[in-house]
Structure 1
Amino acid sequence: MAFSILLKEKSFIFYVTLISFAMLLCYSGASAEDLFQGSSLTKALSCFDNKLIYVGCDEVYRLNPSGNINIPSEATDIFCNGPCLAETQVMLNCINNMLSNFLFYNKASVDQIRYVLNAGCSYSTQRGNFNLGEYAGEEINNGHKLSHFMRLYLFIAMAVVVYLM
């Protein structure tokens, strides 16, 4: 009898967890694929630690997870004609290969960063302008991100489901 009560209790917890998980998916607006991209995100962020990508570019001109490109206009020739532009493109390729819909902390996409680099290094009136906000205006990607609380809740719910199985 104690075993059947324990079994019913575990079934109840399982179904509550399953329903909570389904509600979380519906509430967050995220697909199941979005929820399980943690390892891809980690791999994409590891590109920034790859010592083989940035070897010739001065650290102050390197792209970082913030998405900001801090190149003063007087350093445009150094950045665009030296190793920095090519190494930054390799960095963007690395990120894109690990996670195709990667968003920097400023919510810029890889394609938006590429556009800014191409415009900033072009021989047009935009040469030397690496300010993402001026190119994107208000169009910086507003892709949905789960809050830390929702991610924690999802992790706990999944852990309970795995434990109960």
Structure 2
Amino acid sequence: MFCCNSGSAQDELQEQSITKALSCFDNKLIYVGCNEAYRLNPSGNINIPAEATDFFCSGPCQTETELVLDCIDRILSNFVFYNKATLSQMRYVLRAGCSYTRQRGNCNLGEYLEGEASNACKLPILSSFYLFMIVAAAVNSM
């Protein structure tokens, strides 16, 4: 006889870890000085207009975004953003976008992978799996 509930405790633990990792995006002790419009979100988007690159990279935003990535990594090291970006890919894009190379201002992971360049710091929106997990976690916590 097969048991339909095998792994349910593991699923619940994974769901709790995802919920905790997602709380890093709203942590008031991490995001203190960065304008909300420039913050990394669970979709993997960093929306920085080209004219705000210096503000983002030289002000608190880059540092606070790195802290969010550290927070997530401590909770769930295999975290994947909705756009399927990993933590290491997001770190790479963030650092390259703030470097003083021809990539400065380009925080679009999709374009790094495709070899294209852009001045917009916006990552493509992909996977709905984690969106489902967030909704499920929210419903279960009510």
- Shared fold (TM-score greater than 0.5)? yes
Matched positions, count: 122
Which residue, out of 98, 102, 114, partners 1:125? 102
Structure 1 length as normaliser, TM-score? 0.65
Spell out the pairing of 1:51-66 with structure 2 (5 A cutoff). Answer: 51-66=28-43
Seen in structure 2, the aligned counterparts of structure 1 residues 91 and 146 have a Cα distance that, compared at 3 Å, is closer
The residue aligned with 1:91 is 68
1:79 maps to amino acid: F
Q: Once superposed, what is the RMSD of the aligned Cα atoms? A: 2.9
2 CA distance for matches of 1:45 and 1:125? 32
Unaligned 5+ runs, structure 1: 1-14, 26-31, 153-165
Structure number having the greater helix percentage: 1
The residue aligned with 1:110 is 87
Seen in structure 2, the aligned counterparts of structure 1 residues 126 and 34 have a Cα distance that, compared at 3 Å, is farther
1 CA distance for matches of 2:30 and 2:12? 29
The residue aligned with 2:16 is 39
The residue aligned with 1:101 is 78
Q: Deviations over 1:71-101 (max 9, x none)?
A: 1111110000000000000000001111000
| 2:45 counterpart SS class | coil
Q: Which has the larger radius of gyration?
A: 1
Percent of residue pairs identical: 61
Structure 2 length as normaliser, TM-score? 0.74
Q: Which runs of 4+ in 1 moved over 3 A?
A: 32-36, 145-148
2 CA distance for matches of 1:146 and 1:111? 18
